[in-house]
Amino acid sequence: MLWRLDRDADARALFESEIDRRRAALGERQPAVADALEAHGRRLLEHEAAVESEAALRAAIEIREFSAPDDRVALAAARCVLGRALTAQRRFADAEQTLLEAEQRLSQAGDPAASRAHEALVELYVAWHRETDAKRWRAPSP
């Protein structure tokens, strides 16, 4: 187990180093910095660090809103991951609002990532003990 903890710490340090490198080379508000922050946020969430994940994802979203506000799919995909981080923190109302907005944008764009938003909504509603809502999102989209 200790070996795994050391690997996670090493991975975290590598992600943070890459984010810092991109900021220094490209500037704070560049899409490449947002990409690194979002990847870091995803990894943190996978390793049950939801609060830290939320911070990285919010920073990525802020950069995307500034640098590429018309890329609604990328913004919605990042918000979908943010919704999962909020669900993991049991901040269900915030997660619901974030995920519903992400799902709507992804579905309107016809993006396959909409299915990930559906899965995230199911996870949210199961955790929130709202089985009727979870069932609605489990059903195939029209």
What's the pLDDT band for 5 if we cut at 50, 70, 90?
very low
Considering only the C-alpha atoms of the chain, give the largest distance between any 2 of them, rounded to a whole number of Å.
Answer: 49
Residue ranges covered by each domain of the chain: 1-68, 70-142
Neighbours of 134 (CB within 10 A): 17
Pairwise CA distance, residues 72 & 59, whole Å: 16
User: How much is the pTM?
Assistant: 0.88
How long is the chain? 142
pLDDT 10s digits, 61-114: 999 999 998 999 999 999 999 999 999 999 999 999 999 999 999 999 999 989
Q: What is the pLDDT of residue 13?
A: 87
**Position of tokens 């220094």?**
24
**Based on the number of CB atoms within 10 Å of its own CB, is 77 exposed (0-12), middle (13-18) or buried (19 or more)?**
buried
Structure tokens at 36: 């690194």
Q: What is the distance of C-alpha 72 from the center of its chain?
A: 14
